[in-house]
Amino acid sequence: MFARSAANTYAAIGVQTKAMSASPTQLIAMLYDGARTAIARAKFHLDSGDVPARGNAISKAIDIIENGLRAVLDHEAGGEIASNLESLYEYMVRRLLQANLQRDAGLLTEVDTLLESLASAWAQLDAPAQASEPQPVLQES
């Protein structure tokens, strides 16, 4: 039990450290990854029949979408894209709620696929920024 608690604490510190040094685009990517991880946990708990854990995992995914991804949308700068993303996030939340109520793994997969597509697009946005960053120079001895 102690080992699990220590591992969870270590993982949380790792995520906090990564978040502190991440670019805004990388932070969004981390939110997508977190939501997808929560959905993967929900699928696992759906298969194992653990209703409370499934509900917690789905609630975690919804929280990330609502209070992470949706909350940071900039409607002034983002215009139509921000509005479309907000609609998509609302749709995802509805589908996650339905997945929980109907015990439907297909709905979880649907939302995960949408998040995967968005995460991939964000990764492409960040790729030019990473390519322009100076790479460390290795010195030969």
13 in any annotated domain: no
Domains in the chain: how many in total?
Answer: 1
Q: What is the pLDDT of residue 128?
A: 57
Domain housing 50 = 22-125
97-139 confidence digits (pLDDT tens): 999 999 999 999 999 999 999 999 888 876 655 555 554 444 4
- CA 119 to each of CA 24, 76, 103: distance values in angstroms, whole numbers, following the listed order: 13, 22, 25
Distance CA 139, CA 134 (A): 15
121 in any annotated domain: yes
Q: What is the pLDDT of residue 78?
A: 82
Q: Is the pLDDT of residue 3 over 70?
A: no
Q: What is the pLDDT of residue 12?
A: 46
- CA 46 to each of CA 7, 102, 105: distance values in angstroms, whole numbers, following the listed order: 24, 11, 7
CATH number at residue 40: 1.20.120.340
29 in any annotated domain: yes
**Angle at the Cα of 19 from the Cα atoms of 18 and 22, rounded to 5 degrees:** 85
17 in any annotated domain: no
137 in any annotated domain: no
Average the pLDDT over 45-58 and give the result: 96
66 in any annotated domain: yes
Q: What is the pTM of this model?
A: 0.76
